[in-house]
Structure 1
Amino acid sequence: MAKKILITGGAGFIGSHVVRNFVRKYPEYNIYNLDALTYAGNLSNLKDIESCSNYHFIKGDITDAESMNLLFKKYRFDSIIHLAAESHVDRSIKDPLIFAKTNVFGTLNLLESFKKFSDFQNGLFYHISTDEVYGSLGNEGLFTEQTAYDPNSPYSASKASSDHFVRAYGETYGMRYVISNCSNNYGAYQFPEKLIPLFINNIINNLPLPVYGDGNYTRDWLYVEDHANAIDVVFHEGENQETYNIGGHNEWKNIDLVRLLCSKMDVYLDRKQGASEMLITFVKDRPGHDLRYAIDATKINQNLNWKPSLSFEEGLDKTIKWYLENQKWLKNVASGEYLNYYNQQYLQ
């Protein structure tokens, strides 16, 4: 019998890449994409695989415990890859409760349903998390899997809590699980509230590029397709109750990244060099802004033989080209038109 793999948040940015990868690579699996289709969920991200016989979409909300129980009772999933989450730090500062509801209680609902209605001691609960749970680094050092948790935003606190609950279900009930903590993702299909797609869109439209503080905040960047491949490797080869840091080995200060992006956009848009950089506007810093994140991915490199396939500049070029070639997608997302896709494709 074909394995039933539930992927939560599969219409989102990272999730859609994971779903596509699994549907295409493992035709012997039945892939179930569970997504509530909130503002960041976009089924048009998966138009190219929606007719595949091993792909199934389920509209559902992980915060609804009763519906999760019914869903798990019906399908008896073999394993879960859990990506569904509220993920934008700025939004978490404005509304921390929705982050606790989705990221903490939503994860608990999945754990409970998996425990009740699946062979959880032989299946796998794979929880996707973030490097932000570790807090902030100084000018030196890297996050390892042994770094103590020290979250500073409502978003990172909610993800840290969900990580702890997954581990607790492993220790208390014997549930098989793995966790991975990734650095900042970028690439195609990213909702334009995040830095790179937002700034690409703003440069196209000659809008300001708002940079927090002095722009010296440092992040490690991971190309989303590399992350999807890492998730595949961890799911199939990761050891039970282990954690894996997934990073791109690409540390950039925000201001340096923005200037690089501006320079490349000037070339692609045939503008005078320096034109896009004139759009940079320094704005008031956000509360609790972590200075630096940087991941040590030695464990997954050595134990599972995974490493990023692209340098940051190579990935950035691919990303810019995708958004320039898919400006209709960008306009639909910016306008909210994409929200009609579910109704058009599934309800008519």
Structure 2
Amino acid sequence: MSRWKRVAAWLVAALAASGAALGAAVIYFGLYDVSATGPHTVPVHALLDVALTRSVKVRSADIDVPDDLDSPTRTQRGDALFRAHCVQCHGAPGQAPEPYALGLNPAPASLVGSARERPAAEMFWITRHGVKMTGMPAWQYRLTDEQIWDVVAFMRVLPTLSPEEYRNLAQPATAASGASSAASSAASSGASSAASSDASSSSPSAPAAAPSAPIPPPTPSEPLRVGDAMAGRDALQQYLCVTCHAIPGVPGARHHVGPSLAGMADRSRIAGVLPNTPDNMRQWLMDPQRIKPGSAMPALGLREQDARDIAAFLRTLSNFD
């Protein structure tokens, strides 16, 4: 071995040892923040995202998708299972997740966005096996494979449903006729071959649960202050904003269903209806359904101070900075 090759080998070994020592020190001294109120750093989030994507793709490659996956019968059974077990963490068109899901980190994926991108086999694998350290459970011990495929069938239809159509599917009288045709026609016309994360229940014939009422914001316990942009950056992750919107500098979901918030400060209107002012943004964040009925954005039960802080952060997102 030449002298330069020996030097290069020693240099690589020294760098590897230094990196390992640095990593061990970060772990041993508790320097990495594991709290759910603090997001992963962008590099860590990107690494975990790649690991998840590749792991799921490799393990789902040999799964056979049922020929009748898009049948209306499967879709209707999957609707009941989805409402019983999935909407609580993932939400649905116009419906917020339950309060306990809002603080999960990583945030539960928006299944509308994931269903547009993930193949059915990947969605089945994730639902059946779950994902470590995400809060996503494995359903294989609680549901049959047929039931899991029913949920996959419904999730493939989910991106085609408006908030009103999704609500109407929960009405027993309508489900047998007009309202259920939204899911049935979407299924038979072939909802996209993409889908995602979570699912399911115990009995496919269980009645669909009615959507939960909007989460009431808690009563302020302290005097309200002027919005704080840094506090807003942290708060928006606790209300799952990153599952639907791409936000510059904030780690979030790979697949998004809402518009990017890049350049939000430069836009003239909020949701096309309100002049873009901090107070109007506060009102929109606290009750989007009152301002724009039928919007896909649900009422998430923001505290007023959190809404002020998030509005202040959004004012920093300018394309001209």
TM-score (norm 2): 0.23
Give the structure, 1 or 2, with the largest relative contact order (CA under 8 Å, sep 6 or more).
2
* Structure of higher CA gyration radius: 2
TM-score (norm 1): 0.22
The structure that is strand-richer by fraction is 1
